[in-house]
Amino acid sequence: MSENWIKVYTTRDAFAAEILKQGLTEAGIPAVTLNKQLSAYNIGEINVLVNKSDFDKAIEYIVQNEID
């Protein structure tokens, strides 16, 4: 993964990560998910990443939408 991407959210819930990624994208903030789970057992985490230049906007989106 490129060094221009930075983690803004971590979860164990793949659905929540995908919803956040979609919300960020719709708000004009390109986002990707990085799934580090062992799929058979759902052990591990899923990270939502954004470009470093969009970090502040992404955090503001997360706070405004009360995403835990």
Helix residue ranges per DSSP H, the chain: 14-26, 55-64
pLDDT for the residue numbered 67? 86
pLDDT for the residue numbered 1? 55
Q: List the chain residues with pLDDT less than 70.
A: 1-2
Q: The domain 5-64 is classified under which CATH number: 1.10.3210, 3.50.50, 3.30.70, 1.20.1250?
A: 3.30.70
SS3 at position 34: strand
12-37 burial: b if 16+ Cβ within 10 Å, else e: eeeeebeebbebbeeeebebebeeee
Cβ atoms 50, 29 nearer than 8 A = yes
